[in-house]
């Protein structure tokens, strides 16, 4: 027995194996799907969103972006260190 799922739109009960509401056609697991998609889009919340270096960028632009990346790495390093200190402190 898989159970039932109430439609987020019309609140009627559907078989949980249905993807769309059989009464109004709304997506039954829209919220679950969005949560899943968000997780897939951001698999690691602590992953550093570094500036992308394009191979078409000019020399100065690449240099500038590398400097930004360095700052980002240092910044996130300090941030994770602070989080780590905060997590080991009592209270």
- What the block records as the tokens of 15 is 């078989």
Applying CB under 5 A, the span of 24-32, 48-56, 65-73, 75-83 interacting with Zn ion comes to 24-32
* Residue closer to Zn ion, measured from CB, 13 or 76: 13
Exactly one of 23, 63, 75, 84 binds Zn ion (CB under 5 A); that residue is: 23
Buried b (16+ CB within 10 A) or exposed e, 10-22: eeeebeeeeeebe
Q: Which of 41, 13, 36, 9 lies closest to 24, judged by CA? A: 9
22 belongs to the binding site for Zn ion (CB under 5 A): no
For residue 4, give the 3-state DSSP assignment: strand
7 belongs to the binding site for Zn ion (CB under 5 A): yes
d(CA 89, CA 82) in angstroms, rounded, equals: 11
28 belongs to the binding site for Zn ion (CB under 5 A): no
21 belongs to the binding site for Zn ion (CB under 5 A): yes
* Site for Zn ion, rule CB under 5 A: 7, 9-10, 21, 23-24, 26
């Amino acid at each position: 027995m898989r159970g039932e799922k109430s439609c987020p739109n019309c609140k009627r009960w559907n078989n949980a194996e249905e993807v769309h509401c059989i009464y109004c056609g709304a997506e039954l697991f829209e919220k679950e799907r969005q949560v899943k998609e968000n997780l897939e889009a951001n698999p690691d919340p602590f992953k550093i969103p570094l500036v992308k270096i394009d191979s078409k960028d000019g020399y100065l632009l690449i240099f500038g972006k590398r400097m930004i990346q360095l700052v980002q790495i240092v910044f996130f390093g300090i941030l994770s260190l602070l989080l780590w200190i905060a997590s080991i402190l009592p209270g």
